[in-house]
């Protein structure tokens, strides 16, 4: 039975040949034109990147290997990693091999936690997460292989070792950050007998007598595992790796992007928004009260966190999957009820406001209240959880891009002065 690495080794020549042929035969075909508004507008809608792990469809949401994520939501995150890399789900034996490999790599080197402990105690967990990843990068196989003059076609092999090390250690690191940062006691050692998500739930140390928290974690980490290559974290990751910086630098860059309130930090901001509503009304408000609160929020010039998306034009299926979980596991939780009520009120409010292209909830609108329900109360850890999930797809993207030897990213920039002159103004 072949390991994932052996499968990828077998696929590598076909993947390269496929790209070589399409560039040779259709390389001059035009994929997109760029307007001035798009150049100033964050390149929204410009088809300029290739991503072979997943696509985001405006109405169907995340599609992996041709299947909507809702069809894959009962799979384990590590199965999704295998799928994103190899293009097919693992057999039971292949999954077991991958899990064993991850288990062997999961412990952190002894000198990583002191690095975190040396940081100011009030640092945001995302800052600590990025610092921890950079510190782990000292052991990069890719950086060593490159320095030793490895041939270009082989770059992906030591990079894949880094990717597996990262995939194995990110949950350990994230959980250790939680325990250190919030005074929960010493970090808990990885338990090789658990799957990736249940292992993370275990290392957080939150009591889980029924196993429902681990169940949530599997769903949570699976449905947010990838989202194409166009968003800030994927872009940052890809750009950094394209200069052949090792995967630790690339993932640290992605984490820095996730830390923005318009991206991964939205999950923390949603909790602030929802808790503010509960405080104002002493519980779950009526629709009218919620509408007035959200209107006030908008009028203060703030975005409503957890709503809108640059690509989606319908309710995010990841929201639906997580919301369904909440409906069956915590329908009476007041914070969940506020989220539930908000999804009925806010889209119309955003439509009336008229600016947002998509008034519907995204995954961040509900993910935090579920974590909160099961005892993960520190909202600043929520972005770490989102980023942990997303690292699955980003790590897979790093592998596939290195197999096809994606070149250094280097679009051309132009000054406003030059634009004005070119446009005859």
- So which residues are the catalytic ones? 263, 309, 364
- Measured N-to-C along each axis, helices 364-373 and 212-223 cross at an angle, to the nearest 10 degrees, of 160
Q: What is d(CA 141, CA 162) in angstroms, rounded to the nearest whole number?
A: 6
Alpha-carbon Rg for the chain in angstroms: 22
Would you put residue 159 in left (φ > 0), alpha (ψ -120 to 50) or beta? alpha
Whole-number Å distance between alpha carbons of 173 and 136: 10
With CB under 6 A as the contact rule, the residue among 62, 240, 266, 395 that binds ligand HAX is 266
User: According to the binding rule CB under 6 A, does residue 226 interact with ligand HAX?
Assistant: no
When CB distances to ligand HAX are compared, the closest residue is 308
Task: Read off the DSSP letter of residue 39.
Answer: H
Strands across the sheet with 67-68, in order?
A: 54-57, 61-64, 67-68
| Residue 194, burial from CB neighbour count under 10 angstroms (0-12, 13-18, 19+) | middle
Residue 246 binds to ligand HAX (criterion: CB under 6 A): no
Q: How far is the CB of 365 from ligand HAX (least distance, A)?
A: 7
- Residue 231 interacts with ligand HAX (CB under 6 A): yes or no: yes
CB of 104 to ligand HAX, least distance (A): 31
DSSP state of 153: G
By C-beta, is 204 or 356 nearer to ligand HAX? 356
Of 11-19, 136-144, 248-256, 354-362, which segment contacts ligand HAX by CB under 6 A? 354-362
| x-marked contacts with ligand HAX along 367-406 as a string, rule CB under 6 A | -------------------x--------------------
Distance CA 74, CA 55 (A): 19
CB of 155 to ligand HAX, least distance (A): 29
Q: How far is CA 124 from CA 257, 271, 328, 386, in A?
A: 14, 16, 32, 15
Contact assessment for residue 271 and residue 382, using Cβ atoms and an 8 Å cutoff: yes
Q: Is 355 in the site for ligand HAX (CB under 6 A)?
A: yes
Residue numbers 154-183 binding ligand HAX by CB under 6 A = none
Q: 199, exposed or middle or buried, with CB in 10 Å at 0-12, 13-18, 19+?
A: buried
- Residues in 29-48 at the binding interface with ligand HAX, rule: CB under 6 A: 44
Q: Which of 140, 315, 337, 358 lies at the binding interface for ligand HAX (CB under 6 A)?
A: 358
Nearer Cβ to ligand HAX, position 128 or 386?
A: 386
CB nearer to ligand HAX: give 305 or 368. Answer: 305
Q: Which residues of the chain form contacts with ligand HAX (CB under 6 A)?
A: 44, 231, 262-264, 266, 298, 303-310, 355-358, 362, 364, 386
């Amino acid at each position: 039975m072949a390991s994932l690495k052996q499968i990828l080794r077998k696929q590598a020549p076909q993947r390269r040949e496929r790209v070589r042929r399409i560039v040779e035969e259709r390389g001059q075909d035009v994929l997109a034109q760029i307007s001035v508004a798009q150049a100033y507008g964050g390149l929204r809608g410009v088809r300029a990147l290739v991503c072979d792990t997943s696509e985001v469809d405006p109405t169907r949401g995340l599609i992996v290997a041709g299947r909507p994520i809702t069809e894959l939501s009962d799979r384990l995150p590590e199965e999704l990693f295998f799928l994103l890399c190899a293009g097919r789900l693992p057999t039971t034996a292949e999954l077991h091999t991958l899990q064993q490999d991850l288990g062997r790599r999961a412990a952190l080197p002894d000198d990583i936690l002191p690095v975190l402990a040396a940081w100011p105690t009030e640092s945001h967990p995302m800052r600590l997460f990025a610092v921890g990843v950079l510190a782990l990068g000292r052991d990069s196989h890719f950086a060593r292989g490159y320095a030793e003059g490895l041939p270009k076609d082989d770059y992906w092999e030591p990079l894949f070792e880094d990717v597996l090390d990262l995939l194995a250690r990110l949950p350990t690191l994230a959980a250790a950050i939680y325990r250190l940062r919030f005074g929960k006691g010493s970090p808990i050692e990885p338990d090789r007998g658990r799957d990736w998500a249940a292992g993370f739930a275990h290392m957080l140390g939150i009591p889980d007598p029924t196993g429902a928290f681990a169940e949530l974690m599997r769903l949570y980490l699976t449905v947010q595992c990838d989202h194409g290559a166009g968003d800030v974290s994927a872009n940052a990751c890809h750009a950094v790796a394209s200069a052949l910086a090792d995967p630790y630098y690339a993932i640290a860059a992605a984490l820095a992007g996730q830390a923005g309130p318009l991206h991964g930090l939205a999950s923390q901001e949603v909790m602030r928004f929802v808790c503010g509503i509960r405080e104002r009304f002493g519980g779950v408000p009526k629709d009218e009260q919620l509408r007035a609160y959200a209107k006030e929020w908008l009028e203060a010039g703030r975005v409503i966190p957890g709503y809108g998306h640059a690509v989606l034009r319908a309710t995010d299926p990841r929201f639906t999957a997580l919301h369904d979980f909440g409906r069956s596991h915590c329908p009476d939780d007041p914070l969940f009820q506020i989220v539930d009520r908000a999804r009925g009120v806010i889209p119309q409010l955003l439509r009336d406001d008229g600016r947002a292209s998509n008034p519907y909830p995204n995954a961040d609108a509900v993910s935090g209240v579920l974590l909160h329900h099961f005892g993960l109360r520190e909202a600043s850890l929520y972005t770490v959880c989102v980023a942990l999930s997303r690292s699955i797809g980003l790590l897979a993207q790093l592998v596939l891009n290195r197999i096809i030897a994606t070149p250094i990213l280097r679009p051309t920039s132009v000054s406003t002065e030059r634009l004005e002159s070119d446009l005859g103004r």
